[in-house]
Structure 1
């Protein structure tokens, strides 16, 4: 399979800027990889340098030929799907709005209303509620001094 990438001066400058400044690391890697064949580096060597398979390098070349710069930037579909469904978040928001409860109590009520366990940790539910404007405070013990006898206090001079 032959990889020939002929770049104009503007395309080379654009790829150099992408390889330095793009938001996503994989797009920066693809742009840097496309600059290498013009300098006489073979696709297998590019793959070894960037820690990817040789097929990935060939895919970058084909994407560049077919779609240009847009072909390099594809592949960012937002990550994995959310663990909490919209219905679960909506129920949790409604419960949190009705009365002040701890996060554990909100999670228990969501499970009771929907008749299914939460598919995630309680912290994930807390993050979803925080994104919707709710905040939680950690309970802590009182810092007041108690009136009880302390052995250390008895030995002070």
Structure 2
């Protein structure tokens, strides 16, 4: 089966913008590959220039034909799953809103509510709470004069 992509002007513009601005590198690569394919460059040359296998270019072509832009964007499953589940994070946020506590005490509250050991480091909890709008400083003793 011949590997070609016939693109109209709007599709070329969309792929060009995707190849520059999308947040995931693999989606940018796929869009650039399809642009090259639309310009008549052979799949082997595209694979060499983009540093992927030749089969990947064929797969991109088939996904473009079957699903369009959505086919290019799908398939990004990179990164490690979150250590804190959504329910644990909600419990931690509720505990932080209820009263002023240390991170260790918030982690203990999450353990009590969910009945499982706290699954991550306190720094991870701190980052998750910062994303939710909270900030914490290490408690220090005040100087007595």
Shorter-chain TM-score category? 0.7 to 0.9
Structure 2: distance between partners of 1:9 and 1:97: 52
TM-score (norm 2): 0.76
- 2:129 aligned residue: 129
- Matched residue, 2:115: 115
| Partner residue, 2:14 | 14
Structure 1 unmatched runs, 5+: 147-157
Task: Tell me which moved more, 85-94 or 120-129.
Answer: 85-94
* Residue number in structure 1 paired with 2:54: 54
1:13-71 CA distance string (max 9 Å, x none): 33233322334332221121012234443222222221222222111101111122332
- Change in Cα spacing, 1:96 to 1:48, as seen in structure 2 (3 Å) is same
Measured in 2, the distance between the counterparts of 1:132 and 1:38 equals 44
Give the total of aligned pairs: 145
CA distance in 2 between counterparts of 1:61 and 1:24 reads: 19
Give the structure with higher Rg (CA): 1
Alignment match, 1:151? none
Match of 1:103 in 2: 103
Using a 3 Å threshold, how does the CA distance of structure 1 residues 75 and 116 change in structure 2: closer, same or farther?
same
* TM-score, normalising length: structure 1: 0.71
Distance in structure 2 (CA, Å) of the matches to 1:132 and 1:21: 26
Name the CA distance, whole Å, in 1 between partners of 2:10 and 2:66: 18
Cα distance, 1:95–1:5 mapped onto 2, change above 3 Å:
closer
Q: Distance in 1 between matches of 2:14 and 2:133?
A: 40
Alpha-carbon separation, structure 2, partners of 1:85 and 1:25: 26
Bigger relative contact order, structure 1 or 2 (CA pairs below 8 A, ≥6 apart): 2
